[in-house]
Chain A
Amino acid sequence: MTRFTGMLSLAALAATLLAGSALADTADKKIALSNNYAGNSWRQAMLRSWDKVTKPAVQAGIVAAADPFTTAENQVTEQAAQIQNLVLQGYNAIVLNAASPDALNGAVKEACDAGVIVVSFDGIVTEPCAWRIAVDFKTMGKDEITYLKDKLPNGGNVLEIRGLAGVFVDDEISKGIHEGATENPQFKIVGSVHGDWDQAKAQAAVAGILPSLPDDIVAVVTQGGDGYGAAQAFKAAGRKMPIIVMGNRQDELAWWKEQKDANGYETYSASIAPGVSTLAFWVAQQILDGKEVPKDLVVPFLRIDQAGLEKALETTEKGGVANVEYTAEDAQKVVDAAKK
């Protein structure tokens, strides 16, 4: 199946080749991926996606090289040195998942001054000369309430599961959820727990708060990596299963499928695909190609709805995260959206 998607992206690539839209003078350009950390499944998937998309691109002669570099320790100074070495090695563009939003600015500025294009994604940098492919986590949170509004017009009590306390991402998603709840007062957030984006922790946290909550919880809003744990906690407490928003993890999708087959359970799932690294690759390629690209771009979420569940589950490996690789056309769409 992965081979099949690989073929698909190749075909898409060939299509763009024929259309001649994104390809011109980048055949002799070299792009490097500077990555600060590879220690979890999301980052591993990110690196695999990079290989899967860039290898055919190099073979097809779209770019001369697209080499990934990961620092051994998640350290700012190490990554700064890495960026400087990449500049010396003559890379024309550096795609960057940064260890720190601010502390790499010096190295990034030096790269820019040397004429190197820097495109940061996921872990973005604030240096103005770099491009940023950011994630709108706030919208991701708000979307959850928007979905519930359609599903449950009468509203009701909602339980919120948050991520790791003190982390920027947790703050943003939660802000979005609360903003949604203020705009739709029929939903009342009756409890908030920290599940640390981990199924086991989420299960324990939800099990702990459930006895103190009213019986009519209609929905659980989550941040990803915690939906399955929440479901287990509700099951163990013998409560009616609410709508739990999922976060694209394989165990969550598998549980959802099981419930869907058993009783027609409906929900949706959204998260950022690790394949966003490939989006950054295409954006870098387009900039090298001389395209006008705004400095701030927004990553589309990978959203799985009731209809797409089976397919998503099939392509997601056990213990992994649903993923998608982007094509040059997708990158074009993101760029066009940012221009508006």
Chain B
Amino acid sequence: MTGSALSPRLLRSLLPALSLAALLIAIFWLQPRAMSYVGFNLMLNLAIPIALATIAQMCVITVNDLDLSIGTYVGFVACVGATLLSGGVGALPLVKDLQASGTLPTDLPWLLTTPLAGILVLALGIVVYALLGALIYWRDLPSIVVTLGMSFVWLGLSVVILPVPGGAAPGWIRSLMTLKPPFIPFPIIAAAVIAIFAHILIMRTSYGAVLRGAGGNPRAIERAGWSLLKVKVAMFALAGFFGMLAGLSLVGLTTSGDANIALRYTLLSIAGVILGGGEFVGGRISPVGAVIGAATLTLAGSFLSFLRIPPDWQIGAQGAILIIVLALRALIDHAEKRR
């Protein structure tokens, strides 16, 4: 590897950032109004939950698995956030119906109104994720099948919690997500914090190296005396944790829950990881890239709508952007091999 500024390796790690910059320039050229505090806020605030979901997906991809349930899980968290976390059990539509019909008294005991119920359910969600990791390792099951099955479980649970869209996000999440810090828009600060936190956690700690190694060369890690079971459990639990943050930030933005709120996140998160320089195999990931990838995908939507591309074509165009970036990466890989 030479030290020249345009070495393929450097190019590849810069590719996500370069695509984001190119997209931003195109957006500002099309819509100068977007180049403002309000503009960044509006274009990027929905990128926060997507970025968090992308990090969650990246954790799973690190250990050579794929999570097809992340979208419905984020929706589940959003439903819990809009009900249990804001008003405890008493905020569930089911309980409200019972109160209206007189089966339950209007004044509920403390136990039924405490938001602790929400915290408990969210913690249980992370435990379920950890158990999934264990199950996939123990029985050597294909993660795609297990998580696809789980996606229906999460969706079903969301519908049980919130049969019709509604609920209200807890005030503190709402005020956090609508923060208006001076000079730098909140979504940019949030994205930077997420990226740095995930980077330190996975790329800079010693156990992080083990986690990544378990994806690249599981047998070597096992021989070195590390438990692969623990690694899977840790990575799935991390995915559950970041997925939870995604759901909470989403409900903070939308103000209320809906079981179908985040179905797209499954595919968006996978695309975000890949766009950000991650690969499906071998623990090759980049947390910073993943956050940039999520932002790129979100901005691609804005870009296409500023271009006035008919909506029927937008999904196709979004796919085309993905393919272009991937093709560029393949070109760089090719150049690297030739050296």
Of A86-94, A156-164, A187-195, A317-325, the stretch lying at the interface with chain B is: A86-94
Query: How far apart are A76's CB and chain B's nearest CB, in angstroms?
Result: 5
Is A75 a contact partner of B263 (Cβ separation < 8 A)? yes
Note all chain B residues with C-beta closer than 8 A to A103.
Answer: 165, 254-258, 261
Of B11-19, B32-40, B207-215, the stretch lying at the interface with chain A is: B32-40
A104 in the interface, Cβ–Cβ < 8 Å? yes
Of B1-9, B118-126, B299-307, the stretch lying at the interface with chain A is: B299-307
The 8 Å CB contact of B34, one of A75, A77, A88, is A88
Of B59-67, B274-282, B309-317, the stretch lying at the interface with chain A is: B309-317
Is B42 a contact partner of A76 (Cβ separation < 8 A)? no
A334 in the interface, Cβ–Cβ < 8 Å? no
The 8 Å CB contact of A106, one of B38, B253, B260, B315, is B253
Which of under 10, 10 to 19, 20 to 34, or 35 or more describes the interface residues of B? 35 or more
Query: How far apart are A253's CB and chain B's nearest CB, in angstroms?
Result: 31
Is A72 a contact partner of B314 (Cβ separation < 8 A)? yes
Is A76 a contact partner of B260 (Cβ separation < 8 A)? yes
Is B253 a contact partner of A102 (Cβ separation < 8 A)? no
Is B254 a contact partner of A85 (Cβ separation < 8 A)? no
Roughly how many angstroms separate A278 CA and B306 CA in the complex, as a whole number?
24
Note all chain A residues with C-beta closer than 8 A to B253.
Answer: 80, 106-107
B264 in the interface, Cβ–Cβ < 8 Å? yes
A78 in the interface, Cβ–Cβ < 8 Å? yes
Roughly how many angstroms separate A204 CA and B41 CA in the complex, as a whole number?
53
> CB within 8 Å of B: which of A77-128?
77-78, 80-82, 84-90, 100-107, 109-110, 114, 127
Closest B residue to A101 by beta carbon equals B165
B250 in the interface, Cβ–Cβ < 8 Å? yes
Closest B residue to A104 by beta carbon equals B254
30 contacts between A and B (CB under 8 A): A71-B311, A72-B311, A72-B312, A72-B314, A72-B315, A75-B260, A76-B260, A77-B265, A78-B264, A78-B301, A80-B253, A80-B254, A84-B45, A84-B46, A85-B302, A85-B306, A88-B34, A88-B43, A88-B302, A89-B305, A102-B165, A102-B255, A102-B258, A103-B254, A103-B256, A106-B252, A106-B255, A107-B253, A110-B41, A110-B42
Given A80-B254, A81-B302, A84-B302, 11 more pairs with CB closer than 8 A: A72-B312, A73-B315, A77-B261, A78-B264, A88-B34, A89-B31, A89-B33, A100-B165, A102-B255, A102-B256, A109-B255
Interface residues, chain B, with chain A CB atoms under 8 Å away: 31, 33-34, 38-39, 41-43, 45-46, 163-167, 250, 252-258, 260-265, 298, 301-302, 305-306, 308, 311-312, 314-315
Interface residues, chain A, with chain B CB atoms under 8 Å away: 67, 69-73, 75-78, 80-82, 84-90, 100-107, 109-110, 114, 127, 166, 168
